[in-house]
Amino acid sequence: MTIDELKNIITDAGCVGAGGAGFPSAVKLAEGADTLVINAAECEPLLYSDYALMKQHLADVAAGAEYVIEATGIRHGYLGVKEHTAHRLGLMDGEAISSHVTVKLLPDVYPMGDEIILIYQALGRIVPPGQLPISVGVIVFNCETLYNICLAVRDRQTVTQKWVTVGGAVRQPFVTVVPIGTPVKDMMQKFGFSVPEDHVMIDGGPAMGPIINPDTAVITKTTKALLILPTTIPAITSKLAVNRTVNTHATANCCQCRLCTDMCPRALIGYPLEPHKIVRNAKSMFEEYPEQFIESAVCCGCGICELTACCQQISPRRVYQQVKEILAKKRLRYQHKGEIKVDPEREYRMLPSERFKQRIGVAKYDTGVPEMRFEAYSPTRILLPLRQHVGTPAQPMVHVGDYVTAGQLVAEATGLISANIHTSISGRVQDVTSSHIVIAV
């Protein structure tokens, strides 16, 4: 299969980064790569979706990797997986899982799923700040993305299902597979969980995932987890603070100890981040002169600076986030000049996941491998957002009243970076707007 043939198949199937980023998968395929890294690091605490998928379908993940390797001419692939996950899966470092893919064990530190950190840890290569992994000859795909690529190539299946962990303050955490577009409320009824008072629901990991409204949210191609967590733990209190309070607190209370910079995982591999300096400018400087803080663009938002390093609950991450939004609006991009030097003390400053879990207040919710609940489930109504990916929204191809069958294309990719969307149930189209399509049985 040629690279263009593979691109066409996965574009038709609507494959996007299933790890949370939602980058259209075909856009990542490029000539010139020599290595594929499968991101199965399961970056944040409480997430088990990748583990569950690999437990059931590791051979299909490897088959998806082989399709990519064959089409791109890549020489070798690595399954990047943390030691404890590999142990549970019965995998050993260096073990072959297919003709061109071997296991690469990763230490259990946070944020190992950040692809820049993953590439450095697995291969010793540093992606220059502001550039993509292909600049160092690497393509990274999440393991669920490769599973979807396998289904697209081998079975001509479109992307309509999502592997989701439900965890946190629930009676029994579990992993399940649900149709994309399922209303979260519907899922809560079906699987019997709720959001108690003084708790919130997070889409994704506890540190990086946003708070969502369970009454209106739906499962999308990038939903990795639904976590129910109390509003009193550090992981959540930091999300609830408004920018003005974050900025005032930062400028008034920072003692410039620079621990946030010393622990920043990207600074440790030589990225030009100095969070202790950005907090000095948290009041207004960056609004007037965002170009002076352009290195903010390379912060991955992991939150170590705020949730672990700072003893004063100051959030350099939130300040960087505000600058990033301004830079994006002004279309200002960071371009790196000069050498990149890894901190010689990096190995000793990496943050063990166990410690991170304790610091952010979620350790008590990690009770080990959750239940696997793969019972057949199909909602009677779905809502498909037209933007479940990075890039331009898909364009609806159906009208109110049309009958559609499960797997059918209902919205088409537009532009260079976009993705097709398919219905996960058979039924009649009830609503089509510029932001979503509703289908009911």
Residues that bind ligand SF4 (CB under 6 A): 254-260, 264, 266, 273, 275-276, 279, 299-305, 309-310, 312, 314, 316-317, 320
Query: Which tokens hold the place of 8?
Result: 């066409």
> Residue 96 CB: number of other CB atoms within 10 A?
11
Shortest separation between residue 130's beta carbon and ligand SF4, angstroms: 14
Distance CA 180, CA 64 (A): 21
Closest approach of ligand SF4 to the CB of residue 218, in Å: 28
Taking the least distance from each CB to ligand SF4, the nearer of 199 and 349 is 349
Nearer to ligand SF4, 30 or 285 (CB): 285
Q: Among residues 6 and 268, whose Cβ is nearest to ligand SF4?
A: 268
Cβ count within 10 A of residue 197: 6
Burial classification of residue 378, based on how many CB atoms lie within 10 Å of its CB (0-12 exposed, 13-18 middle, 19 or more buried): middle
Q: Which two tokens stand for residue 399?
A: 């009208």
Residue 180: what residue type?
A: I
**Amino acid letter, residue 106:** L
Cβ closest to ligand SF4, residue 323 vs residue 362: 323
**Closer by beta carbon to ligand SF4, 240 or else 255:** 255
Decide: residue 291, CB within 10 A, 0-12 exposed, 13-18 middle, 19+ buried: exposed
CA 94 to CA 170: how far, in whole Å?
37
- How far apart are CB 353 and ligand SF4 at their closest, in Å? 15
For residue 209, the minimal CB distance to ligand SF4 (Å) is: 14
Task: For residues 50 and 287, give the distance between their C-alpha atoms in angstroms, rounded to a whole number.
Answer: 39
Q: How far is the CB of 273 from ligand SF4 (least distance, A)?
A: 5
Residue 352 identity (one-letter amino acid): P
The DSSP bridge partners found for residue 372 are 175
Query: Which is nearer to ligand SF4, 24 or 275 (by Cβ)?
Result: 275
CB of 315 to ligand SF4, least distance (A): 8
Identity of residue 277: K
Specify whether the CB–CB gap between 189 and 178 falls below 8 A. Answer: no
Residue 142's nearest CA partner among 234, 230, 41, 73 is 41
* CB nearer to ligand SF4: pick between 148 and 308: 308
DSSP 304-349: HIIIII-TT---HHHHHHHHHHHHHHTT------S-----TTHHHH
Answer whether 292's CB lies under 8 Å from 285's CB: yes
Distance CA 41, CA 300 (A): 16
Which of residues 61 and 297 has its CB atom nearest to ligand SF4 in the complex? 297
CB of 349 to ligand SF4, least distance (A): 11
Q: Is the dihedral of CA 168, 352, 36, 372 positive or negative?
A: negative
Residue 317 CB, nearest approach to ligand SF4 (Å): 4
Residue 151 tokens, joined: 């289904």
| Of residues 27 and 302, the one with the C-beta less far from ligand SF4 | 302
Compare residues 114 and 144 and give the one whose CB is closer to ligand SF4: 114
Q: In angstroms, how far apart are the furthest CA atoms of the chain?
A: 63
What does the alpha-carbon distance between residue 433 and residue 418 come to, in Å, rounded to a whole number? 18
- In DSSP notation, 185-201 reads HHHHHHHT----TTEEE
The sign one gets for the Cα dihedral 294, 297, 303, 309 is negative
Least Å distance between CB 243 and ligand SF4?
15
Q: Quick one: 239 or 276, whose CB is closer to ligand SF4? A: 276
**Contact, 13 vs 152, CB < 8 A?**
yes
Cβ proximity to ligand SF4: between 179 and 303 the closer is: 303
Q: How far is the CB of 437 from ligand SF4 (least distance, A)?
A: 35
Hey, is 7 helix, strand or coil?
Answer: helix
CB of 368 to ligand SF4, least distance (A): 27
